[in-house]
Structure 1
Amino acid sequence: MPVLDLAALPQLSRAERLTALDDWLSGLLADALSATPRSARRRGAPPTGPVEAGIALVAVGSLGRREPPPHGDLDLVLVHDGRPEIAALADALWYPVWDAKLRLDHSVRTIAEAVAVAGDDVKAGLGLLDARHVAGDPEVTAALRAATLGSWRQHASRLLPQLRDLRRARGRQVGELGFLLEPDLKEAYGGLREGQVLRALAAAQLADEPPADAGEAYTFLLDARDALQRATGRASDVLVRQEQRGVAEALGLADDDALLRRVSLAGRRLAFVADETWRRVDAALVRRPRGRYRRVRREPLAEGLVRQGDEVVLARDARPAADPGLVLRGAAAAARADLLLSPYTLKVLAVHAPPLPEPWPPEVRWSFLRLLASGRSAVPVLEQLDQEGLLARMLPEWDRVRSMPQRHPWHRFTVDRHLVESAAAAAELTRDVDRPDLLLVGALLHDIGKGWPGDHTEVGVVLVRDIAARMGFSPPDVETLVEMVRHHLLLPDVATRRDLEDPLTVDRVVEAIGRDAALLQLLHALAQADGAATSASAWSPWKAHLVAALVARVAARLGSAPVPDPVLEPTEPQVTAPAPVIPGPTEPVTVGVEDVLDGQQITIGAADRPGLFSVCAGVLALNQLDVRAARVSVEHGHGTLVFAVRPRFGRPPVPEILADGVRAALEGTLPLADRLRQREHDYSQDRPAGRPPRISWFDAEATGATGLVEVRAADRAGLLYRLTAALADAGLDVGSATVETLGADAVDAFYVADPGGAPIAPQQRERAERALVAAARGDAPDPAALGAVEA
């Protein structure tokens, strides 16, 4: 029996691994033929020399494509001419493979059986297109390949739509390779499977062979998968976060971000070529009515451009080399008509289009704005320009953000696609602003600084000043775009982390943007577009409500709008349950629940006492309610706490349960700390990360004796409870709080004050900081470390 060195196999190159496997399998077939009893052989068909006629071992799948991964399956078909001893021969062949601990996907078929299966099963047909002779009678393999290819072409009109739907469904399930932080290199849309599909479409004679750059992208993904499987020692196609650095080093790349960017570029190229190819295939599969051929109607769209079928092509009198505005004019015409530029037109423009003059002529800038204003239909057109290098030719800064990964889990897209999606979302808001042109350009460029080292906002301000001037905007418009980039995070940050009822919060925004109502209008629309292009988690209805409330208050300060209602007041509240009154030891505890935008508003009333805020926050956390904002008011010894919450698992809060929990916690019969610690143990997603918490005081935003402290820490069960308990232990009262969760991190801001009304002393601030750090880490507060707190 031939010997295969399994330990050395994964370390070989693909070509060496292929040779070793082929030689080993050839030997196994020869041994199997020798071991099969001659009496079981069909009479009249003895072995003819070294090869027995009528039997062939054929590789399909990755082995058939000459791409065996280090720890992949062996996909083998034993093809025969109908002999009765084939079962014994197959057993003699497969058992040594199993004994070698290799995973085997095997079948035994005649040529007619294989072709019948391929004609009914699109996956089987796709695999047989990669059939490659390994051992045995080569004429059998050649006959199988010819029959399979003929059947594939014959049934293309039925099989290819199934294959298209299969890949699109898989892409929806797994995601697009170009935008995943932990991509499936094989099954994600744009992955290795796309390269195999492209070859299958070419085999059906309905598409050309994939272009060379698509082949290069495919080869890189193969190299990445090989490096991944060597690193993990198993058959894995998912490039998980912890393996990315090692894979990057194996491929000679600078770091894991460089790896993810190369994977994204490769995946987007394969996806783009696949999309273009499927459009051609779909058009070819449409059955034309019988009769004389009719010429496709050509409809003029713009100067030098016509619509031909479902594409935009160059007119006969177009002069690409002498018309600098033709690229953007064509892109705008295509997007406005919800079409795409034809691949040939793109190639011609990429080769012949001259550089744009600087500054851009008004008609060129107008075409660019028309393209962006097309909204969703502009996204695929911009992707066409990007894939052909035309977008970076117009905006050289674009190359630095192409396929740049964003590690934050909120982000669905790479930086460049996020910018395009932001512009598409901004197109829906152009009627809400006085300068829609500035909104569209600002949305497209607000994160352009992420391609350079340093703070992306500061870098973006410098870049946008140059880009806007190059586009031909007037100096005042350039400054407005610069201010949009400078402050594009201002409204969301302030709205979600500061008390909107505090006048200093509004002062901060006015100080930043001046008394420019038009800029406020643009920043509000930009915040909406940016959030919508990030993810639903990043721009929830509640966050949108907070930003709108902040904008209303700033507008009122500027004199362009009436003073709005308090933020925590619900819009058209619907009381879901009465506020129960549960008798306590001294005073009743009342709990009311109302439906508000994107969640519920919970109002808790009880006798004021130190730590009341913390107790209520702990009870809410114990009931799986995420707090997003809170406010406390005390009058005549009675505390009223209003919380904006959202159920973590979709179950609405029950007033009776909450009231009972608050009462039990106040009486000391509910061990909140122990229960929350157990909950954190039960839910692994709530476990904190290793980064230390950060405590910041904002004296400039404090009011009188009230201080503002912000805590950035790993999110965990009961974090708000622990933080407010720590502040109470440090002798500080919490007046209001805003809470925001950014992926695995939480940003909690508290307005605190000394109960006696005195300014917060430095020693008290130090005690509070130590207590907050301990609470954020999950450590129990140490009264000795905090110091004695006078009653």
Structure 2
Amino acid sequence: MSKLTITRQRAIIDRRALVSAIADAIEDKGAEGARPQIVALLKKALEDGRQELSDRLAEKPGAGHEITNGYAFLIDQIIRVVHDHVVGDLYPVANRSSGERLTLIAVGGYGRGEMAPYSDVDIAFITPGKPTAWCEQVIEAMLYFLWDLGLTVGHSSRSLDEMVTMARSDLTIRTALLEGRYLWGDKDVYQMTEDRFWGDVVPGTESQFIAEKLAERDARHKRMGDSRYVVEPNIKDGKGGLRDLQTLYWIGKYVYRVRSAAELVDKGLFTKEEYRSFRRAEGFLLAVRSHLHTIARRGEDRLTFDLQREVARRMNYADRPGKSAVERFMQFYFLQAQHVGNLTGVFLSSLEEQTQQKRRGAGFLSGLMGKREKLIEGYKVAGGKLSAPSDDWFQQDPVRLVEIFTIAEREGLEIHPETIRKARRDSGLIQREVRRDERANALFLDVLCGRNDPESVLRWMNEAGVFGRFVPDFGKVGGQMQFDMYHHYTVDEHTIRAIGLLSKIEKGELVEDHPLATKILPGLKYRRVLYVATLLHDIAKGRGGDHSVLGAELALRICPRLGLTKAETELVSWLVRYHLLMSATAFKRDLADPKTIEHFLEEIDDAEALGQLTVLTIVDIRAVGPGIWNSWKRQLLGDLYTLAEEQLRLGEGDEDRRQKRLDAKRLEVASLLGDKAHLVQELDSRFDRDYWMAEPADIIAINLPHYEAAKRLEHKLSIHAEYYPARGATLITVIGDDHPGLFFRIAGAINLAGANVIDARIHTTRVGKAVDNFLVQDPLGKPFQEEVQLKRLKKSIEDALAGKIDMVPSLAARPLPRTRAENFRIAPLILFDNEASVRFTVIEVNATDRPALLNRLTRAMFETSLIINSAHITQYGERAVDTFYVTDLLGGKITSEDRLKKVEQALLAAIAAGEPETEAAE
């Protein structure tokens, strides 16, 4: 390992001065008596050194190599001082025996000289033979000093023979020693360690080492989410992080004995430009890691939302129109992670291929392999990989930069790493004339709408830099994240995943998860419209306006270039413009209200547009991230599609059709009730038509027996809770005497029991009984299923309605644990709509999601004399969007401007009361 290059070393730590101060302390109190003073001197030196390096990082926030080398230097000097004090003052030996020899080796990242402020200090203590008592005393005393300084020390103590045995059998030990750097102690023992490692451990194990490192890398990627585009990345272990770069060091050093990444150029594994890209990415990631450690004051490698904003500020990123400083910083991070992926992908794939070739052997067998090589449209194919036949292949005709991906997708082939490297190198050849080339656009459309695996091929195309060059507007969202908790991936990764989902649905691979989309797709007239709309739906994000509107305008320009007809272009533009309409309607509006369907269909002309929009909505939501799609969303979107499709097919609903639908539902409920079917007739006089229209048949079939039992047993309050798989939630039904404030008390009780309301319908029977249905989930979006959980929910509601719980102080005393949402602030927005329903005023509340928000909002409505008919609760990460269908006490809409203003003020006050800074004052 090359020596660390450090500027102004004595400003970091003045070792001579420190040694002198320790000598003075020993002279005054003796070696044992001066220990507390020595520890204090070492601590101060460590703290001062850290402060100096922290100041340097603030002055040069991108100096990752300089700062991490500086921390390694600081720890080096501390350890050397401690060693010399222990050996010279505590356990001096005039004439050491041959066994009383010890060398200290910095291993792992410390050995490489890359230490973030709070990284572990990894040291190997090596002795020639079995450690003597003196060696053990020295090692123990050193470790106690380092622990007293608050350092996290990873250490091993082994003889040379033990080192060889352990390194042969343990990949982790072998990797750590691979980066061993002489730290202090006996140089001859260090040299023996080096000689034994390279002479006795490494030879003959190179292929095994590569295979194990590749397996280790794959397992790590899988553990970290298997994407370099997750919005809270781990910069050390995540895909595209520092560990991927370090893997190159390890393999390069193990196989080629290189001492630095620069030597990989000499070995022909990197071009000079690739090495410069490697160095830039490494320096940036090291700088980010140093900032993370400095801010957290501990070893922190996850770039979480709460740290992203602060790191962006420290690294001098500023807001720009359409993009905040943190979004610009994270976009640069993801571009660097992509560079790391490009470099490691080419490097490791080439090595993997070389290893396989060695295993196959040379001579006759390799000759046979050569004979199997074939050509497809001028491209060589061998071992399932597509290759450019010459170095200037793409330079001869830049359209081939698109063509090769088309062939790969069509034939189900991979592209050889060396050809990907050439494509990346030559991607700049894609200029205006190539983008306007009719053949090139047809080829691109073939990839996008491919029948095999468009997702993988588009991802290769993106990482080769070809995608963004060919569709520059897509290039602008490369690596772009949205600073929120809802979106799990960058815009480009989300888009490619959505296209992949669309392809899988079309091939019938996701029937169980997406039965509706699987049914719709084969009947669509414009197949490629759906793929192009999926590509373009988020393409205008980060431009400082409504991305749906701006994206629709871009689509009008991009689609003709791709070869779409006028009709196809207009449909794509419409889909991009309204790609959020269906989810907003399904999740935020009452689908039982005829006005909801009427308003939804104001923007939809025909069944083709409805089908296209439905499938686009499904893949868009599913591609947001794991856990976002669930059975509740599937059910709501399915209901909306069914109602809208029926109205498009048959025209606006008339009284006769509504009655037929109602009669059909009664028959369905009777069928579900089986031997209790008589309850439909017996209780008909109590439940009005609105109840029958609003509730699904299966919930009515749960409500009626519950209501009959409560009536028969003369229960004043009856609570039923059960797992409701159709919506992936728990259904809670409360039946009792109706009275004002019932909703907010129930909502608060559910919250106290650790649950969140996701949907609610409030009914009052003709005899004044409340029948309220709540769908609830836990804070992770999962249903409550265990009997003990259901009992806890029922008990909490019973106590609240019996007046045993004083709701406001109880909620204040037991808020839900702080979540990541605390790192965000959504400007509260209250919207009133008197056109969305015939009977009700619709109130939509947008706010930062907080514990007990629903309880606060519904209490505010109670206190302003509003009656809630239904509530629809939606979370988009940290953003809560709660919609309420309300009337005044007389059953009328809220139309007075003064009244609306008072309601708005009450709701804003309720939101403000839930903010962290005011919460304690409640």
Q: Which residue of 1 aligns with 2:330?
A: 260
The aligned amino acid for 2:214 is R
CA distance in 1, matches of 2:312, 2:825: 24
The aligned amino acid for 1:172 is K
Deviates more, 1:477-486 or 1:279-288: 279-288
1:402–1:416 CA contact under 8 A, matched in 2: yes
The aligned amino acid for 1:152 is V
* Alpha-carbon offset, residue 413 of structure 1: 0.7
Counterpart of 1:307 (choices 366, 381, 406) is: 381
Q: Which residue of 1 aligns with 2:107?
A: 60
Q: Report 1:126-165 matches (<5 A).
A: 126-136=175-185, 138-150=187-199, 151-165=201-215
Q: Which residue of 2 aligns with 1:195?
A: 245
Q: Report 1:130-529 matches (<5 A).
A: 130-136=179-185, 138-150=187-199, 151-175=201-225, 178-205=228-255, 209=269, 211-212=274-275, 213-254=277-318, 255-286=325-356, 287-288=359-360, 292-293=364-365, 294-296=368-370, 298=372, 302-315=376-389, 319-352=393-426, 354-355=429-430, 357=433, 360=436, 363-374=439-450, 377-430=453-506, 431-432=521-522, 433-513=524-604, 515-529=605-619
**Cα displacement string for residues 34-54 of structure 1 (whole angstroms, at most 9, x for unaligned residues):** 4554466116x99xxxxxxx7
Q: Which residue of 2 aligns with 1:770?
A: 905
Change (3 A) 1:576 1:731: closer
CA distance in 2, matches of 1:500, 1:727: 22
Q: Which residue of 2 aligns with 1:786?
A: none
Greater share of residues in helix: 2
2:850–2:914 CA contact under 8 A, matched in 1: no
Deviates more, 1:384-393 or 1:565-574: 565-574
Change (3 A) 1:445 1:567: farther
The aligned amino acid for 2:239 is Y
2:235–2:285 CA contact under 8 A, matched in 1: yes
1:693 correspondence with 2:828: yes
Deviates more, 1:97-106 or 1:222-231: 97-106
**Cα displacement string for residues 581-638 of structure 1 (whole angstroms, at most 9, x for unaligned residues):** 3469896747585653323545544444434444554554455554333334444234
CA distance in 2, matches of 1:616, 1:90: 64
1:168–1:189 CA contact under 8 A, matched in 2: no
CA distance in 1, matches of 2:532, 2:157: 61
Q: Which residue of 1 aligns with 2:682?
A: none
Deviates more, 1:565-574 or 1:323-332: 565-574
Q: TM-score, normalised by structure 1?
A: 0.86
CA distance in 1, matches of 2:821, 2:177: 48
CA distance in 1, matches of 2:743, 2:456: 51
Deviates more, 1:263-272 or 1:694-703: 263-272
* Alpha-carbon offset, residue 735 of structure 1: 2.4
Change (3 A) 1:317 1:290: closer
CA distance in 2, matches of 1:599, 1:574: 17
Counterpart of 2:117 (choices 70, 79, 85) is: 70
**Cα displacement string for residues 524-546 of structure 1 (whole angstroms, at most 9, x for unaligned residues):** 11101101100244322211221
Q: Which residue of 1 aligns with 2:815?
A: 681
* Alpha-carbon offset, residue 764 of structure 1: 3.3
The aligned amino acid for 1:425 is L
Q: Structure 2: state its 5+ residue gaps.
A: 1-14, 19-41, 54-65, 257-263, 319-324, 507-520, 666-692, 916-922
Change (3 A) 1:662 1:188: closer
CA distance in 2, matches of 1:100, 1:659: 53
Q: Structure 1: state its 5+ residue gaps.
A: 47-53, 781-791
The secondary structure found in structure 2 opposite 1:712 is strand
Counterpart of 1:115 (choices 164, 168, 173) is: 164
Q: Report 1:693-712 matches (<5 A).
A: 693-703=828-838, 705-712=839-846
1:625–1:645 CA contact under 8 A, matched in 2: no
**Cα displacement string for residues 474-508 of structure 1 (whole angstroms, at most 9, x for unaligned residues):** 22222211111110100000111111122221222
Change (3 A) 1:576 1:9: farther
1:72–1:235 CA contact under 8 A, matched in 2: yes
1:297–1:308 CA contact under 8 A, matched in 2: no
1:568–1:644 CA contact under 8 A, matched in 2: no
CA distance in 2, matches of 1:159, 1:179: 28
CA distance in 1, matches of 2:302, 2:589: 40
Deviates more, 1:310-319 or 1:218-227: 310-319
The aligned amino acid for 2:236 is K
* Alpha-carbon offset, residue 396 of structure 1: 1.2
CA distance in 2, matches of 1:779, 1:132: 54
1:379–1:420 CA contact under 8 A, matched in 2: yes
The secondary structure found in structure 2 opposite 1:450 is coil
CA distance in 2, matches of 1:147, 1:378: 50
Change (3 A) 1:574 1:607: closer
* Alpha-carbon offset, residue 414 of structure 1: 0.8
The aligned amino acid for 1:647 is Q
CA distance in 2, matches of 1:730, 1:226: 53
Change (3 A) 1:102 1:351: closer
**Cα displacement string for residues 430-464 of structure 1 (whole angstroms, at most 9, x for unaligned residues):** 43432221111111121111132222222222322
**Cα displacement string for residues 6-38 of structure 1 (whole angstroms, at most 9, x for unaligned residues):** 223223343444445445545555555545544
Q: Which residue of 2 aligns with 1:726?
A: 860
2:244–2:344 CA contact under 8 A, matched in 1: yes
CA distance in 1, matches of 2:556, 2:170: 57
CA distance in 2, matches of 1:216, 1:389: 18
Q: TM-score, normalised by structure 2?
A: 0.75
CA distance in 2, matches of 1:407, 1:527: 22
Change (3 A) 1:17 1:749: closer
Q: Which residue of 2 aligns with 1:81?
A: 128
CA distance in 1, matches of 2:311, 2:346: 31
CA RMSD of aligned residues (A): 3.8
Q: Which residue of 2 aligns with 1:51?
A: none
**Cα displacement string for residues 666-698 of structure 1 (whole angstroms, at most 9, x for unaligned residues):** 5x4443625861674254449987656322101
CA distance in 1, matches of 2:758, 2:158: 63
User: Percent same amino acid at aligned positions?
Assistant: 25
Q: Which residue of 2 aligns with 1:569?
A: 696
* Alpha-carbon offset, residue 733 of structure 1: 2.3
Change (3 A) 1:420 1:39: same
The aligned amino acid for 1:497 is K
Counterpart of 2:775 (choices 642, 645, 650) is: 645
CA distance in 1, matches of 2:144, 2:449: 64
1:7 correspondence with 2:47: yes
CA distance in 2, matches of 1:631, 1:745: 22
Counterpart of 2:642 (choices 546, 552, 576) is: 552
CA distance in 2, matches of 1:307, 1:226: 45
The aligned amino acid for 2:591 is L
CA distance in 2, matches of 1:389, 1:607: 66
CA distance in 2, matches of 1:539, 1:315: 45
* Alpha-carbon offset, residue 350 of structure 1: 3.8
Q: Which residue of 2 aligns with 1:579?
A: 706
Change (3 A) 1:65 1:660: closer
CA distance in 2, matches of 1:640, 1:541: 27
The aligned amino acid for 2:628 is A
1:125 correspondence with 2:174: yes
The secondary structure found in structure 1 opposite 2:480 is coil
Change (3 A) 1:155 1:774: same
Aligned length: 769
CA distance in 2, matches of 1:772, 1:40: 83
* Alpha-carbon offset, residue 659 of structure 1: 7.3
The aligned amino acid for 2:546 is D
CA distance in 2, matches of 1:56, 1:586: 82
CA distance in 1, matches of 2:502, 2:488: 17
Q: Which residue of 1 aligns with 2:760?
A: 630
* Alpha-carbon offset, residue 264 of structure 1: 2.1
The secondary structure found in structure 2 opposite 1:178 is coil
